[in-house]
Structure 1
Amino acid sequence: MASNRPVFSAVSSSARQLLLLLRCISFAKKAQVRISPEGLRFSTEEGSVMEAFVFLDKALFSSYTYNAPLPPSSQDDPPDPPTFEISLTSLLETLNIFSLSDPNASKRPGDYDNFTAHRLNRHLGINAFSNHTLGMTGVCTFSYDGEGSPLSIHMSESGVTTTCDLTTYEADSAEEIPFSRDSLAVKTIMRSTYLLDAVTELSSMSPAHLTMVASPTSRAGADLSLSAAGALGSAIVDFTTHTSSETPVLETFYCPNKTSASFKFGLFKHAQRAMAVATKVSLRMDEEGVLSLQFLVEVGAGSGGGGGEGCAFVDFRIVPLVEGEGELDGAGAEDTDSD
């Protein structure tokens, strides 16, 4: 039996918060959206070598309503939660309409000024979701009526309103990059700014790939090293649990055996926005070399309906280069420079 109820509707008191989270995965033009009773899940990918996920928990919204799609008949099983694709570029432009106070809104994701501003704000005690940086307090309403319907966004602030209907497309059935949480070769937690600083330092070499080496904890040497080489030279950044400070660089570290893997450097640059706005990052690599970066982003008071402190997570999975692929990429880049 048909129903006139929308499958999903939600209201946010600040689209700015959602915008900052979704920008973390904006390296792709389209995003896959999955609506569930718990919240919205957005995912993007680059080929089959990188995936990124953002989960917007229903607690981030002042109201959240999910009505499960009805089966064709009472004898059929309930359908799966709605999944579709939308233009992520259009969604970000819509959420950014009232962000006139953000001078960096028009900058490309790779611009370092954005990251510097976020880091300075954090040192001043202002996180990405605090009231000091919201820049807008308008009401943003989302709704989705069902399969084939657009994702509708209605925004209102100070008497100014705008409505945008984003066309939804059938989602691809591609499988996620497999990651074995039960067979980890490396696991560590550190401040996200440390990883951002390392990637920024290595990027000055114009490298084609990044190599990660982890060793069992010892009294001497680094526990985790990131290295890169390019046309402008080579560099290595070491992380260790051994420090005179009460807060070690690596807050936790697990590595039973020495292991290493190489990745395309450009994929790490895709994650720089997440590195900039996050507080901490959990870095894990399974025995197949697949890398998982899970960023914790603090959500300030007033983000949802409860008025308390919370957090959101942005996840990246990166596939390693096969043996010899990194050397070939580096050689190719070197030849291009010499020409």
Structure 2
Amino acid sequence: MSQLTSQRTDEEAKQVLVASVHDVRYLAMLLRGINFSNRASVILSASGGITVAVEEARTLLATSYIYPEHFDEWDCNPDIHHAPSSQSSELSKDAHSATSAFEIPLNTLIECLNIFGTAGISSASAGTKYKKWKRAEDGSDHDGDDGDRPNRQRPGANVPLHNRIDHYFGGGEKRTSMNMSYAGPGYPLTLLLAEDSTGPTTTCEITTFDSEPNIELPFDADQLVLKIIFKSSSWLRDALSELDPSCDKLTFIANPAADVRRGPRLGRAQEKPLFRIQASGTFGSTEMDYPNDREVLETFECAHPLTVSYRFGHISRTLRALQSSTKTSLRIEEEGLLSLQFLVPVPKPRGGLSNSFIEFRCLALDEETS
């Protein structure tokens, strides 16, 4: 019996990764946010957690960051198979920076996490009404569903519904717990899944592949031209959701706030927009303007007038990430490279929230950026 225990301990010691989580829904949510390409590059880091990246057409790069604090258990030793024991002291010094990389079919991983049908977004969220664009003639921000019921009678009423991450999952649902392990290059990613301690368990072994480099899209903060933080992701999500899917091109138009304020009082067609989203396609074009309102744009910084276009099909890939995020950062550098960062709160195992991120970077169309 002692030999069996010793053998099991040795096997665990050779693992590059051993991690567990009591509820896989949030992990699945972070993966779904970038699930538009099946080939996913995974990087494991002792201090950085799991980084999953996918790309499309050498133009769009999406990355999901899953940090160690999101797990109940986290033990990662990326260099365990790459150095002799004589270098163990040096490894311990550099363990925080070591990484292990492989590729995995993302669809398969997500399907495994949802093998008991408990890792999906609840259908209850599909019919939820989000805060819409407020018209000048509207007198209230409320949609009227709550009637005259005071906020103090609703638990969590001081937190907007679209900013509560639990809103995306139904209450009282069963949850799937998971133990994840990876023994190194050539080995599968192994998931041990259980719906509860007394129910059935399932072991999934997902084939891993040698990692190939993704496209590199470094964002130069020194060349930043436009920076916007949407107070709620719904302001961008609703705008993109209402656009005609047949649109070919999406254009962002921005002007410094000072220029907009100094502009003459002309008709709307001649006004300089603070920030405008313009979608164009075969059947015409659509324009949506954002007001200079901190309830909408928490931060707005524009160095000079900017007009830059992207393929609509690439920008629409962000809708899944927008659905599960609470805040969105939009940045554009001088050459037109777009960075969209989505803040996704994830509950910590011991209480509280830990912020995670999903980031999209997209190259501008081959047009003159002005």
Query: TM-score of the superposition, structure 1-length normalised?
Result: 0.82
Alignment of 1:17 onto 2:26: yes
AA of the residue aligned to 2:219: F
AA of the residue aligned to 1:152: T
Match of 1:66 among 76, 81, 85: 76
Alignment of 1:153 onto 2:163: no
- Give the drift of 1:304: 2.9
CA distance in 2, matches of 1:294, 1:101: 23
CA distance in 1, matches of 2:223, 2:172: 41
Question: How much identity, in percent, do the aligned residues show?
Answer: 33
CA distance in 2, matches of 1:118, 1:177: 36
Alignment of 1:99 onto 2:83: no
Match of 1:310, SS state, is strand
AA of the residue aligned to 1:181: A
- Give the drift of 1:177: 1.4
AA of the residue aligned to 1:307: G
Q: In the alignment, what sits opposite 2:287?
A: 236
Match of 2:331 among 281, 284, 301: 284
Q: How many pairs are equivalent?
A: 308
5 Å-filtered alignment, 1:285-304, equals: 285-299=332-346, 303-304=347-348
5 Å-filtered alignment, 1:249-328, equals: 249-299=296-346, 303-323=347-367
Match of 1:215 among 255, 260, 271: 255
User: Which whole-Å deviations, capped at 9, do the CAs of 1:228-248 have from their partners, x for residues lacking one?
Assistant: 12223211011132x4xxx43
Distance 1:142 1:172, change over 3 A: same
* Contact 1:128-1:277 within 8 A present in 2 as well: no
Distance 1:88 1:212, change over 3 A: same
- Give the drift of 1:116: 5.4
* Contact 2:247-2:281 within 8 A present in 1 as well: yes
CA distance in 1, matches of 2:368, 2:303: 25
Match of 2:165, SS state, is coil
Distance 1:34 1:137, change over 3 A: same
CA distance in 1, matches of 2:40, 2:16: 19
Q: In the alignment, what sits opposite 1:193?
A: 234
CA distance in 2, matches of 1:12, 1:311: 16
CA distance in 1, matches of 2:204, 2:342: 30
CA distance in 2, matches of 1:224, 1:304: 36
> 221-230 or 314-323: which moved more?
221-230
Q: In the alignment, what sits opposite 2:62?
A: 52
* Contact 1:188-1:253 within 8 A present in 2 as well: yes
Distance 1:255 1:199, change over 3 A: same
> 274-283 or 129-138: which moved more?
129-138
Distance 1:248 1:170, change over 3 A: same
Distance 1:102 1:72, change over 3 A: closer
- Give the drift of 1:268: 1.4
Q: What's the C-alpha RMSD, in Å, of the aligned pairs?
A: 2.8
> 62-71 or 178-187: which moved more?
62-71
- Give the drift of 1:169: 0.5
User: Which whole-Å deviations, capped at 9, do the CAs of 1:70-110 have from their partners, x for residues lacking one?
Assistant: 334336985941100000000010011123585878xxxxx
- Give the drift of 1:209: 0.8
Distance 1:268 1:162, change over 3 A: same
- Give the drift of 1:128: 4.2
AA of the residue aligned to 1:179: F
Match of 1:29 among 35, 38, 44: 38
Distance 1:311 1:101, change over 3 A: closer
Alignment of 1:81 onto 2:132: no
* Contact 1:118-1:128 within 8 A present in 2 as well: no
CA distance in 1, matches of 2:241, 2:206: 35
> 23-32 or 215-224: which moved more?
215-224
Match of 1:271, SS state, is helix
CA distance in 1, matches of 2:45, 2:129: 31
CA distance in 2, matches of 1:256, 1:266: 27
